[in-house]
Chains A and B, each alone.
Chain A
Amino acid sequence: GENVEQHPSTLSVQEGDSAVIKCTYSDSASNYFPWYKQELGKRPQLIIDIRSNVGEKKDQRIAVTLNKTAKHFSLHITETQPEDSAVYFCAGSRGYNKLIFGAGTRLAVHP
């Protein structure tokens, strides 16, 4: 069935370091891969997304890479700041806005 695995479940870094979160999907028909950030008590917010016809996408300090062959995609955050602390969710979709989410990664950035 459709499944997205996400690692690690928790990640602790020092301010200024880089953070990498990795996801693996099972459905080879998935063609859209968004990343959502959810701060404590807040709604999930889209921070970056990538489609299957693109290998990499960057937006300031955030980048996402996709390896279709291996069914892997990753989120890279550079120069982390305390306000980056949140739970990050990856997801995969094959259409019709049905997102299959990973279990989430709790990122803590320490000053």
Chain B
Amino acid sequence: KAGVTQTPRYLIKTRGQQVTLSCSPISGHRSVSWYQQTPGQGLQFLFEYFSETQRNKGNFPGRFSGRQFSNSRSEMNVSTLELGDSALYLCASSLSGDDEKLFFGSGTQLSVL
């Protein structure tokens, strides 16, 4: 069974640009959540989707948004990039909305110059 797949693996952008990251969950998993990992702030929750509905959102500005498609694949978008957005963005999938056993992807390393 294939694991959680995130693309691209690395991204370099400049301030003010926009970026879209993609996540394909484990087959059969319906919940996808996104986390930002930085050396200073650790792992921080961005948002979670279940059956195309955002059920929970972390304390990030509105520049961070996401969506989930009918096949459970998810995308997150960051608009008007800032230097502080440089981070590893991790996607995690879970079988249902309640079992909470998260399986993480390898992440997308975003660098904002």
Which chain A residues have a beta carbon within 8 Å of chain B's beta carbons? Answer: 32, 34, 36, 42-46, 49, 89, 91, 93, 95-104
Chain B residues lying within 8 Å of A97, measured Cβ to Cβ, are: 31, 33, 48, 50, 56, 92, 94, 97, 100, 102
Interface of B is mostly: strand
Chain B residues lying within 8 Å of A32, measured Cβ to Cβ, are: 100
A-B contact pairs, 27 of them (CB 8 A): A32-B100, A36-B104, A42-B106, A43-B90, A43-B104, A43-B105, A43-B106, A44-B90, A44-B104, A45-B104, A46-B102, A93-B100, A95-B100, A96-B48, A96-B56, A97-B48, A97-B56, A97-B94, A97-B100, A98-B56, A98-B58, A99-B100, A100-B45, A101-B42, A101-B43, A102-B42, A104-B42
Quick check: A96 and B102 within 8 Å, CB to CB?
no
| CA A24 to CA B102, docked complex, whole Å | 21
- Any chain A CB within 8 A of the CB of B107? yes
B4: shortest Cβ distance to chain A, in Å?
8
Chain A residues lying within 8 Å of B97, measured Cβ to Cβ, are: 96-97
| CA A98 to CA B44, docked complex, whole Å | 10
Which chain B residues have a beta carbon within 8 Å of chain A's beta carbons? Answer: 31, 33, 35, 42-45, 48, 50, 55-56, 58, 90, 92, 94, 97-98, 100-107
Q: With A96-B56, A97-B33, A97-B94 known to touch, is A34 a contact of B43 (CB < 8 Å)? A: no
| CA A93 to CA B71, docked complex, whole Å | 26
| CA A53 to CA B63, docked complex, whole Å | 38
- A44, A101, A102: most-surrounded residue (chain B CB, <10 A): A44
Quick check: B43 and A44 within 8 Å, CB to CB?
yes
B60: shortest Cβ distance to chain A, in Å?
13
Chain B residues lying within 8 Å of A93, measured Cβ to Cβ, are: 100
